[in-house]
A and B are shown apart, each in its own frame.
Chain A
Amino acid sequence: MRAYVIKRVFGMIPTLILISGLIFIVIQLPPGDIVTSTLDRMQSQGLEVSTEAVANLRAQYNLDQPLLIQYVRWIGGFLVGDMGYSYLFTRPVSELVWERLGYTLMITVSSLIFTWAIAIPAGIYSAVRQYSFGDYLITTIMLVGLATPSFLLALMAMYAGYEFFGISIGGLFSPEYRDAPWSFGRLLDFLSHLWIPMVVLGLGGTASTMRILRANLLDELSKPYVVTARAKGVKPMKLLFKYPLRIAINPFISTIGLLMPALISGEAIVSIVLGLPTIGPALIQALIAQDMYLAGSFLMLLAVLTVLGMLLSDLLLAWADPRIRYE
């Protein structure tokens, strides 16, 4: 197990280097750079900018250096937690990021748990009662959940909250708790706001996860050993949970790895619609303002989060399935 963990953890490094290179290319793509857009803004405010000041600004952002140096500086700063200064938010990026990253992580993890809490029982039910009314009902609901754009689901959740529960949904806190320090009341308030993005995000991933479990379980259920056990009189529930389910759940664990990118993608847009203080809305603001370095930092953080999620799912799988460990 230890050898496997070490192998996997070090295997992440080239992946992250490739990703960072990719992100660096992406943030170089738009015409112009942070200096030209800053200049535009200053000139539109009627400020005179000397060529010397421009040169200083370019030097400050290392824009006068070759691309490779720029890349190394950027990623080096990122590694030590120095992500530059955001003109958009007029704060150092690193200050801005941690708080938002925390909320992103919380929403993603809770919707992952929600996805499982729904997908596992639903998958088991529709495999055991294949072609029953319940099977079709579950499959239909899942299909609609899969097909509905997440921003539309978020809008509908807001509507439902407003119409049926009389609460205004949006943000992660009620106004009175927004800037308050953490307390029990604030925690409760937070949890009461958390479930909307959790459900909205979770529904999208539930369909595919459930179908994988259903298919795996159906394969197992038709195997001779299950028939044998049943013929020998093992109780149906005990049989199900003791043998086929344990085998069917293994490939299922590996789907966390696939679920993570999808959840983080979805989280971005759901947060924008619901106005949550996470990375997604900040990313889009940065993109619209063409503050590409800030956007790059956000992208990198999201990518790191996904890669870590995949690592975790691989380790979990290795722990659950010895065949992978000893390969």
Chain B
Amino acid sequence: MSEVANQATPAVVTDLGTETLQEISPRQLAWIRFKRHRLAMISAGFLIAMYLITVFCEFVSPYNTDTRNVKAINAPPMSIHFFDAEGNFHLRPFVYSYDMEINADSWMREYKENTEEMYPIYFFEAGESYHMWNLFEAETHLFATREGYIHVFGTDQLGRDMFTRVFYGARISMSIGVVGVMLTLFFGVLIGGIAGYMGGIVDRGIQRIIEVLLSLPTLPFWMALSAALPVEWSSLMVYFGITIILSLFGWPGLARQVRGKFLALREEDFVMAARLLGAGRLRVIFRHMMPSFTSHIITTATLAVPGMILGETALSFLGIGLRPPVVSWGVLMQQAQNYQVIVMTPWLMIPGLFVVLTVIAFNLLGDGLRDAADPYNTGGNRD
């Protein structure tokens, strides 16, 4: 057995070794470099999981966003148990019901676990019916209880399930980031490309506008613009309005980078060679120049998403972004306007935790992508 292994191993290694050396494409090389970046890999996993949840949030969350549980107003998160009060093990996890009493001093509701009454958790269980993607009715939830209720992240002032609301909020907040960045990309590449391509007075004019926009404090301008959105607009229109406002101040940075890359690449030998070989203008741009800065653009785009998410959160928190029936992380954070909330009902800050995690993940992912995409990167000091 060991003899076989001893013989086989070196052969395989050299074989693999030469193959790797000869047949690796730039894309594979980037992937190998990216895989080395462990934090970026973890972040990518987290973000993929989050986006999958936001796509299926009707299914993942046990309730609908407006469902109220009057038995649990401002109730703390429930813990999921496998062992009951007597120490018996249950294969099916369960939660205890709330035991509510009103504190005589503070007149606040106080909740304790009632170990007498337990609600087992069932998976792929029928619960409240919902309208999946506004297409069809369904009622299967990832998890639910047959009797009683389950609030993994607690409930808010109206007794609405925070777990449900956090993931519905993720759908809005995380998609605003992506849609906003796509708009930013479109305008940034278009305007930056025009500036780099036309040169001369157009270039100088665009440069000037970019400088001005970059020197503006964005948040006050976001505030002014979103306060200008008509009150009678539907939620969907406000959503797109906010997205456009957020990308309005995002494109200048990108446009400047695209222009810079364009100008630098125009002087490169391989572009000259392509031109001398008789390649048309569009072919030079799309076949030869584009590939050398797409990776750069993808990185910039990734690093731009967190700004958008934070922008939406801040605007909605102030009450001039998205407005309640819409559930977004910012709208949820509106409940936490003062520090008493942190003292009394800290679980209302959970959406904030998700904002922080998502923003960190995007930043780390962006770092990883930048390292992977840089063809001159030797794993050195570039930060």
Contact = CB atoms under 8 A, between A and B. Distances in A.
B27 interface: no
B363 A155 contact: no
A261 B209 contact: no
B212 A211 contact: no
Interface string A258-293: 001110111011001100000010011001101000
A26 B220 contact: no
B336 interface: yes
Contacts of B223: 268, 283-284, 287
Contacts of B338: 155, 158
A288 B227 contact: yes
B360 A144 contact: yes
A18 B209 contact: yes
A261 B218 CA distance: 7
Given A26-B224, A265-B220, A156 B318 contact: no
Interface stretch (A59-67, A92-100, A299-307, A315-323): A299-307
Interface string A128-164: 0010000000000001101111111001101100110
Given A144-B356, A218-B383, A284-B318, A265 B224 contact: no
Interface string B159-170: 000000000000
A112 interface: no
Interface residues of B, number: 47
A6 interface: no
Given A18-B208, A155-B339, A159-B342, A306 B318 contact: no
A264 B220 contact: yes
B70 interface: no
Contacts of B220: 264-265, 268, 280, 283, 298-299, 302
A226 interface: no
A104 to B, nearest CB: 11
A214 to B, nearest CB: 6
A29 B310 CA distance: 24
B211 interface: yes
Interface residues of A, number: 58
Secondary structure class of chain B's binding surface, majority of residues: helix
B216 A211 contact: no
A159 B343 contact: yes
A151 B224 CA distance: 18
A31 B230 contact: yes
B221 A149 contact: no
Given A268-B223, A284-B318, A306 B216 contact: yes
Contacts of A280: 220
Contacts of B336: 155
A124 interface: no
A299 B224 contact: yes
Most chain B beta carbons < 10 A, residue from A143, A155, A273, A307: A155
A295 interface: yes
A30 B333 contact: no
A43 interface: no
Given A265-B218, A266-B219, A268-B217, A149 B355 contact: yes
B215 interface: yes
A126 B359 CA distance: 23
Contacts of A147: 306, 355-357, 359-360, 363
A163 to B, nearest CB: 7
B339 A159 contact: yes
B102 interface: no
A71 to B, nearest CB: 16
A30 B296 CA distance: 38
A284 B222 CA distance: 11
Given A22-B212, A219-B381, A287-B320, A269 B363 contact: no
A219 B333 CA distance: 42
Interface of B: 208-209, 211-212, 214-221, 223-225, 227-228, 230, 306, 310, 313-314, 317-320, 333, 336-339, 341-343, 349, 352, 355-357, 359-360, 363-364, 380-383
11 contacts: A14-B208, A18-B209, A27-B224, A30-B227, A147-B363, A261-B216, A261-B217, A272-B318, A287-B223, A287-B224, A299-B224
Given A19-B216, A148-B352, A218-B381, 4 more contacts: A151-B333, A152-B352, A283-B220, A302-B217
